[in-house]
C-alpha cells in the first residue's frame, strides 16, 4: 500500500487551487473549481489528514499467497505489439 499525507497549509492549498483554476480557464476539462468549503475548514483548524490505499489487487495477492502483483492484476498494463509477440511461445 501507499501511505501519504495531505497538504495542510491553507494558504499553499489555496494558491494551488487558484493555479488549477488558471489551467481550467486554459481549456483543461479535468480541472475542478475552487473548493471554498475545504479551504474554510483548513483555516478553522481541520486536523491534518492522510490515508492508506492498499487496493483490491494487493489484497487478492495476499489472499491467494502470490509472490507478484502481476499474477493477480485483472487488467495488466498493455505492452507494445513487438514485446507481446516475443513473449508468445
Chain segment 18-41, per-residue pLDDT in tens: 888 777 676 666 666 778 998 999
**Environment class of residue 46 by beta-carbon count within 10 Å: exposed (0-12), middle (13-18) or buried (19+)?**
middle
Do residues 40 and 51 make contact, with C-beta atoms less than 8 angstroms apart? no
Task: Provide the grid cell at 54.
Answer: 492498499
pTM (predicted TM-score): 0.46
Give me the domain span that covers residue 19.
1-49
Same domain as 70, residue 33: no
Same domain as 62, residue 38: no
- DSSP code for 40: H
Cα(86)–Cα(83) distance, integer angstroms: 5
How many structural domains are present in the chain? 2
Residues in the chain predicted with pLDDT less than 70, given as ranges, are 1-5, 24, 26-32, 78-89
Amino acid at each position: 500500500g501507499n501511505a501519504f499525507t495531505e497538504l495542510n497549509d491553507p494558504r499553499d492549498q489555496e494558491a494551488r487551487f487558484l493555479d488549477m483554476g488558471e489551467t481550467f480557464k486554459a481549456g483543461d476539462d479535468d480541472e475542478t473549481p475552487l473548493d471554498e468549503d475545504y479551504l474554510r475548514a483548513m483555516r478553522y483548524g481541520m486536523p491534518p489528514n492522510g490515508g492508506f490505499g492498499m487496493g483490491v489487487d494487493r489484497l487478492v495477492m495476499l489472499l491467494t499467497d502470490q509472490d507478484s502483483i502481476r499474477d493477480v492484476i485483472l487488467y495488466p498494463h498493455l505492452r507494445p505489439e513487438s514485446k507481446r509477440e516475443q513473449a508468445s511461445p
